A and B are shown apart, each in its own frame.
Chain A
């Protein structure tokens, strides 16, 4: 980027310092190998993650069997240093993860689609950009703040009255049976929905925004209303993008730890009522890790491996769909 004036033509002898010097000869390949080595660190890290955690968790899988571990309902920590003496079944935590994520997706996906539609088609141009920035800011808020707010403000002021109403109306239905403890699957799921909404909105907004304007204009020219254009032209065209957004949101919801930990109640059993307390895989690891014996840390590692497997499958599927679309979102945080 220097702006010096070009010097007079060099004399005939071969130019020093560029092509012939040993420094010049090695600098380029060296640089290439250096950056390539940095690049492969990602692959090395991922491989290390898989190998290290799986080998750490191996004894538990050997003792319980992989599927026995996933479906077992008992979690009884032992305190041996050398062998596995307890009973380890991860089903209550898998159930908690699935239920909270399902609640979160069920609430967040329709809302995210609608907000994305609003931002791209309805919002006055002057406020569309600030609005979408504001929604995306929510994605930057640390999850521990969501947990604090959810536990000490949202739960007592909004969710508890809402739950009591639900219980009084639908209490006969097994999903809404009391007693209401406040913390539980539903609380965690609702706060998770708030957390994954901005990520999903951002992706869906991008997918909708690249939809060609000709098709929309053609539909308008045929006399469609705006709703019909959205419903019958834009929505089908961006369907795969919406699926990808849902899956990325699901990946987030599955792995979220702290907010769920603060709102799910932390019991080691599972219940069919949405008001019941439980644990998700991630929250159980975080909650019990500090006081765990070496043996049960091994078992927690096994939960981690199972969680990793599930989130990886979801994420890879989502990424493949997004890559098929041929367009990545610009925001790396998404």
Chain B
């Protein structure tokens, strides 16, 4: 032991004391620093470009009319995405009602009653489910609800189910992380006061994790708002405001955006940029707000 530590390696000169320029290694280090910084800058460029371009092209389009008027034929200027906004709101409200309670309940089961074989397989498949292609979810809901099970047809409910399936694993995974952060002392204190397990969960664990649960739910909503592909196969899209629960094709902002952007009419493309700006602001607001709530919660705990 002592011989190893007492004898310094021979002929070793620390890099900082070697003559400059003589070392290829130092040159490589410099080069790597430059390359890594350049990579960072390259990665930031698209983000800046997207934010800039969406704002520039969208800002002139978005006004009160854009939110309250329905869309004219793609060639004509003016009008707005009222149908899309209404449809998105309708679909998202239903999807939130379906995905968030189930997601949180799943997380409660995994954290409070696990680990056992069932919870770990649920956990694994929840993870796997985050990677399912959205178009496949659309196909599944089409096969299950639109043509199967009494042929409900295209509509709001089918679209909401598809979005809920996309949101469910996100809610579950983040709720699970948050429930794990609740200290066991709180659970034990609750048990010590004579509370049952369900009382402990409902009155102690869930309130303590509430800010974190909100964060996860908001991230899931941010993800759900922008989903397009599954809606093409389930809600099907509409240019009119559709209030029916199921049976009539329903519109949504991302679908209208897609249709406007892929047709060669300047007016429709302009409206698509406006919709992109609205969608962008909505999604970013939800994401940033969610992170803010989350960081607040973690500093308070």
Indicate whether A and B interact: yes
> A residues engaging B (CB < 8 A)?
1-2, 18, 24, 27-28, 30-32, 34-36, 38-43, 45-46, 48-49, 52-53, 56, 110-111, 114-115, 117-119, 122-123, 131, 133-135, 137-138, 140-149, 151-154, 194, 197, 201, 223, 225-228, 230-231, 248, 251-252, 254-258, 262, 282, 285-286, 289-290, 300-301, 304, 307-308, 311-312, 314-316, 318-319, 323, 328, 330-333
Residue from B165, B220, B258 within 8 A of A144 (CB atoms): B258
Check if B78 is an interface residue, CB within 8 A of chain A: no
Is A143 touching B226 in the complex (CB atoms < 8 A)?
yes
Is A255 touching B136 in the complex (CB atoms < 8 A)?
yes
Question: Which has the most chain A C-beta neighbours within 10 Å: B14, B44, B143?
Answer: B143
Lowest 8 A-B CB distances belong to which pairs? A142-B226, A255-B133, A332-B173, A114-B39, A38-B105, A315-B131, A31-B198, A257-B229
Is B133 touching A257 in the complex (CB atoms < 8 A)?
yes
Is A42 touching B54 in the complex (CB atoms < 8 A)?
no
Shortest A296–chain B CB gap in Å is 13
List of A residues within 8 angstroms of B159 by Cβ: none
List of B residues within 8 angstroms of A43 by Cβ: 121-122, 125
Q: Which residue of A lies closest to B196 (CB)?
A: A28
Is B254 touching A41 in the complex (CB atoms < 8 A)?
no
User: Once bound together, how far apart are the Cα atoms of A34 and B130, in whole Å?
Assistant: 23
User: Once bound together, how far apart are the Cα atoms of A123 and B196, in whole Å?
Assistant: 49
Is B40 touching A118 in the complex (CB atoms < 8 A)?
yes
Is B198 touching A225 in the complex (CB atoms < 8 A)?
no
Secondary structure at chain A's binding surface: helix, strand, loop or mixed?
Answer: helix
Q: How many residues of B contact A (CB 8 A)?
A: 103
Shortest A252–chain B CB gap in Å is 7
Is B102 touching A133 in the complex (CB atoms < 8 A)?
no
List of A residues within 8 angstroms of B3 by Cβ: none
List of B residues within 8 angstroms of A262 by Cβ: 258, 261-262
Is B43 touching A144 in the complex (CB atoms < 8 A)?
no
List of A residues within 8 angstroms of B288 by Cβ: 137
List of A residues within 8 angstroms of B59 by Cβ: none
Is B283 touching A144 in the complex (CB atoms < 8 A)?
no
Q: Which residue of B lies closest to A316 (CB)?
A: B128
Check if B62 is an interface residue, CB within 8 A of chain A: no
Question: Can you list 21 contacts pairing A with B, beta carbon distance less than 8 Å?
Answer: A35-B105, A42-B169, A111-B42, A115-B43, A138-B46, A153-B49, A223-B12, A225-B29, A226-B32, A227-B32, A251-B131, A255-B131, A257-B135, A262-B258, A285-B139, A301-B139, A301-B143, A308-B132, A319-B127, A330-B177, A332-B130
Is A225 touching B25 in the complex (CB atoms < 8 A)?
yes
Check if B250 is an interface residue, CB within 8 A of chain A: no
Q: A43-B121, A146-B50 are in contact. List 19 more A-B contacts (CB 8 A).
A: A28-B198, A35-B108, A38-B109, A45-B168, A46-B128, A111-B39, A114-B39, A118-B37, A142-B226, A144-B226, A145-B276, A145-B279, A148-B276, A194-B46, A201-B43, A262-B258, A301-B139, A311-B131, A332-B216
Question: Which has the most chain B C-beta neighbours within 10 Å: A118, A146, A231?
Answer: A118
List of B residues within 8 angstroms of A194 by Cβ: 46
User: Once bound together, how far apart are the Cα atoms of A1 and B182, in whole Å?
Assistant: 13
Q: Identify the stretch in B89-97, B201-209, B239-247 within 8 Å (CB) of chain A at 4 or more residues.
A: B201-209
Is A140 touching B222 in the complex (CB atoms < 8 A)?
yes
Is A140 touching B43 in the complex (CB atoms < 8 A)?
no
Shortest B205–chain A CB gap in Å is 10
List of B residues within 8 angstroms of A41 by Cβ: 102, 106, 168
Is B196 touching A24 in the complex (CB atoms < 8 A)?
yes
Shortest B280–chain A CB gap in Å is 6
Is B125 touching A142 in the complex (CB atoms < 8 A)?
no
Q: Which residue of A lies closest to B190 (CB)?
A: A1
List of B residues within 8 angstroms of A315 by Cβ: 128, 131-132
Question: Which has the most chain B C-beta neighbours within 10 Å: A30, A52, A123, A140?
Answer: A140
